[in-house]
Amino acid sequence: MDQRMTARWAVVEQLFHEAVELPPEARAAFLEKACAEDQDLYREVESLLACSDATLSALAEPVNAIAGEMIGNGPEGRRIGPYRLIRLLGRGGMGVVFLAERADGQFTQQVAIKLMNAMLGTSSAMLMRFRAERQILARLTHPNIARLLDGGVTADGQSYLVMEYVEGEILSEYCRRVQPTLNARLQLFLQICDAVEYAHRYLVVHRDLKPANILVTATGTPKLLDFGVARLLDPSMLGLSAAHTSASERLLTPEYASPEQIRGEAITTATDVFGLGILLYELLAGRRPFAVENPNPMALARAVCEDEPAPPGSITKGIPRDLDHIALMALRKEPERRYVTAAQLSGDTRAFLNGLPVAARAGTVRYRSAKFVSRHKTAVAAAIIFFLTLACFSGAMAMLARRADRARTAAQREADFLSNAFLASTPEEAAGRTVTARELLDGGAGRIDRDLAGSPEIRAQFLQKIGMAYRRLGVHDKALDFSQRALDLKRRLYGPQNLETATALDALGEVYRDGGNFARAEPLLDRALTIRETELGADNPLIAESLANLGECLYLEDKDAEAEGLLRKSIALYRRLRNSDVVAPDNYLAQVLERKGSETEAIELLRESAAVTRQKYGAVSRDYANSLHNLGGALIKVGAFVEAERMTRDAAEIRRKILAPDQDRLYSVNNLTYIAVEEGNAVAAEPYSREALAMVMRLYGETHPRVAVVYRNQGRVRELRGNYTGAEASYGKALDILNRLRQPHGSTAATVLLSYAQLRLDRGDFAGAESDAREALQISEKIDSPNGPSAANALVEIALARELAGDDAAAEPLFRRALDIRRARAGLQAPVTISAQVRLGEALAAEGKNAEAEPLLRTADASVHDSKFTLLPWQVAEADGALAAYLAARGRLDQAKVLLHAEPANYPQAWQNRIASARSEKLRKSQAGD
């Protein structure tokens, strides 16, 4: 060790021993005087004192247990919101965690509830830390991170979090019991790395990665827990100050802390890389990397900051040297010398599993050659034989020359074919006409069999390319014909297990998928993926492409769980390969997340996708238009119609400029119809509806899922205009199409049934409305889940039917459950969440439950005036009017008057307009009488 470093540690050790004997409140003054201007020395000693406090905290466990009962930390049977506590799961520095169950009878659900220690609740710093944890967790939705479901404050002032309950074993205990193979341990580790990398993308550093914070489920899936000491790299993103995320700056687990944590230096993502390195070391060696004989804070801190751990392979036999290097690189003392990201660490681990060179080892020729030989033994042996038979060199050269001649001939044939195809655009051939791209394509298609009769390989390629071109133009029948012919010819030329055949399978599958024939599309796309995985191995852009295409098909079939897994694998593979072309998988995954209910993650994913697409393809491109359209669709789902309209109009304008296919324009026009209806603007909605119907008939005929969607929107326009008979006819046509397609229980059918329910509410048929909405709820719960956004929409309609029929007591639990779902899925500021708050508040007020109703209505009203989204006039008026009615009914007319709107809002449904008009009239009369 360097003499200066030894002297430095001697000073640190002396100051530590002196300070630890002092009362905690006297230590800061002592250190300020002893360290003078040496702030680094101050931070190092302060950090060691924090480690000492953490190590000795175990002695306080019995006292905490007794105190917990005395201050009401949550005895079994206690109610927290709609949950009942069952039993204690664990106790930590900031609070206790209980297993709880849903207790309001709405549905069965077990959760984990973290209650902040009541004594700590008096500390503003720890309270800010607890709230910061809630906001951090609300941003994270990942299969390997325990999800936040809800949160709040109990009646006696204790803050709490409601989290996904993970039933599993601590990572280290799981490994001791199961004794997984080395590869299985690495697969566990890779999933943990993916979760950490996901958190880093949202600028969250966990800072306390250890086996106790990772549970492994019965299916072998690791789940990352406890972000209690996590830190936001940019606290302002959540509206927090640095103080909010520094309240736990000295909270750490000494055995799993990084050198910079112990020294009190800056915390970065490299801190978590060090924590991952300790986890990997334990998985490989069976013990932690820094073992000390006397485990006091001083000795442990010195070991972490100075000692170099032994390679895991020196402790556990059979560990390959590559893994030694990976673990030790993650554990380097200097943050800048570790892996830069968790993704780089997992990338090196995957490289090891795939037999590729790892970045942690020096890239010597000998090392890389050895890795190459180990992966390609057969190929290397063949190369040796080749060199031994060098006498055949001249024959081989002659063969290559013949191949080159054939390649030149093929290239000439391709050039001749393209030249002939474009002759139609010359002045002589065009005879003054403007020749369209479609005419050029038709001309080329007609020449394929004649001009390329003697070149089947070239003919197969052009059949496929022309099929793809027709698909891009939205000419479905010709796209199907040419794609099928290309597949048939490639099978004859190359056989069934060939990459060329896989490309043709994939192309034909996409055409069937566009046409709504998912039963034909799925096996073709699945077969293409299987061939590519067999022929190309694990890491190839073509595999990522196949995963994305099959994932979209499964999404359209309402197989969301399968679709999400494939799409996440596709995006991960694209990014692992550093291929920036990840727009399509991002968009598809966002649509899955929307329907699943992770709207916040979906919108953030689509905003990122739109920015990437604009940068890559430009502001006037089909890909950018698609990204804007999908973002607009996601915003529609949360009720953000103003921003959704802007995005959708921009997408439609771009598609008009670039002469995009009719099907692209159809999507935009159809969404603009829906938005105009939600704005209560029948004049704007009518022409959009007519244009969408004309396009969808021209593209797909009378029987296609998209035709059903257009008829549903047509019905909503008719309903808005008061043409209830016409609206019912449109909804009937939509359901008839879905029945003929054998899709009577899909997501589209559920939306049509909800529109039927809304129509019946407008007509005053509350029993019929409830019946339709309950049928939609059954479909939604089967496709998504009881906690999905479609289920929440159906619950709202059922509750409205009960409320409008005068049964507020029955409506209350339905509104409450819908609100819980929307809070968890769409976030507190989403317009759909605010609307559910208003509805629940009205029901509670009608029941006379004023203590709960008034704060709920006030919170909703404050939210519409301080939302991150721009809201429609009726969305604001809905919240203002509900609060005004509540206040007026209780004699507070002056407060109610402030909330009255001068102009009536245009609501999208007649029953809303009736209630708003009656309420306004009643308030005005009350004020006049007053």
Q: What is the 3-state secondary structure (H, E, C) of 401-467?
A: HHHHHHHHHHHHHHHHHHHHHHHHHCHHHHCCCCCCHHHHHHHHHHHHHHHCCCCHHHHHHHHHHHH
- pLDDT at position 52 is 56
Cα separation, 733 vs 738, in Å, equals 9
The helix (H) or strand (E) run that includes residue 304 is: helix 297-306
- DSSP 8-state symbol, 147: P
- pLDDT at position 51 is 59
Q: What are the phi and psi torsion angles at 746 (to 5°)? A: -100, 180
Instruction: Give the pair of three-digit tokens for residue 752.
Output: 């049509």
How many CB atoms sit inside 10 A of residue 698's CB?
Answer: 11
- pLDDT at position 594 is 62
How would DSSP label each residue in 845-913? HHTT-HHHHHHHHHHHHHHHHS-SSPPPHHHHHHHHHHHHHHHHHTT-HHHHHHT--SS----SSHHHH
- pLDDT at position 799 is 96
Cα separation, 28 vs 814, in Å, equals 55
As a whole number, the mean pLDDT across the chain is 79
Q: Of 256, 297, 264, 299, which is closest to residue 280 (Cα–Cα)?
A: 256
Cα separation, 502 vs 509, in Å, equals 10
SS3 (DSSP) at 153: strand
Cα separation, 460 vs 379, in Å, equals 30
Look-up of token digits 């003929």: 740
Residue 428 burial by Cβ neighbours in a 10 Å radius (0-12, 13-18, 19+): exposed
Residue ranges for the chain with pLDDT beneath 50: 1, 54-74, 119-123, 125, 234-250, 363-373, 376, 379-435, 580-582
Q: Of 830, 804, 807, which is closest to residue 819 (Cα–Cα)?
A: 830
SS3 (DSSP) at 96: strand
Cα separation, 781 vs 224, in Å, equals 27
- DSSP 8-state symbol, 336: G
How many CB atoms sit inside 10 A of residue 537's CB?
Answer: 12
How would DSSP label each residue in 786-853? TTSHHHHHHHHHHHHHHHHTT-HHHHHHHHHHHHHHHHHHH-TTSHHHHHHHHHHHHHHHHTT-HHHH
Cα separation, 811 vs 839, in Å, equals 9
- pLDDT at position 823 is 87
Contact 138, 232 (CB under 8 A): no
The helix (H) or strand (E) run that includes residue 231 is: strand 231-232
- pLDDT at position 76 is 67
* Burial per residue of 391-419, b for 16 or more beta-carbon CB atoms within 10 angstroms, e otherwise: eeeeeeeeeeeeeeeeeeeeeebeeebee
SS3 (DSSP) at 296: coil
Q: Of 250, 306, 248, which is closest to residue 46 (Cα–Cα)?
A: 250
Cα separation, 113 vs 262, in Å, equals 31
Q: Of 658, 592, 589, 587, which is closest to residue 626 (Cα–Cα)?
A: 587
How would DSSP label each residue in 157-224? S-EEEEEE---EEEHHHHHHHH---HHHHHHHHHHHHHHHHHHHHTTEE-----GGGEEEETTS-EEE
Contact 135, 238 (CB under 8 A): yes
How many CA atoms are closer than 13 Å to the CA of 652, on its beta-carbon side?
20
- DSSP 8-state symbol, 105: S
Contact 772, 754 (CB under 8 A): yes
**Taking phi first (over 0 means left), then psi (-120 to 50 degrees means alpha), and beta for anything else, what does residue 869 get?**
beta
Cα separation, 66 vs 402, in Å, equals 89
Q: What angle do CA 909, 913, 919 make, to 5 degrees?
A: 145
Q: What are the phi and psi torsion angles at 110 (to 5°)? A: -105, 140
Contact 79, 102 (CB under 8 A): no
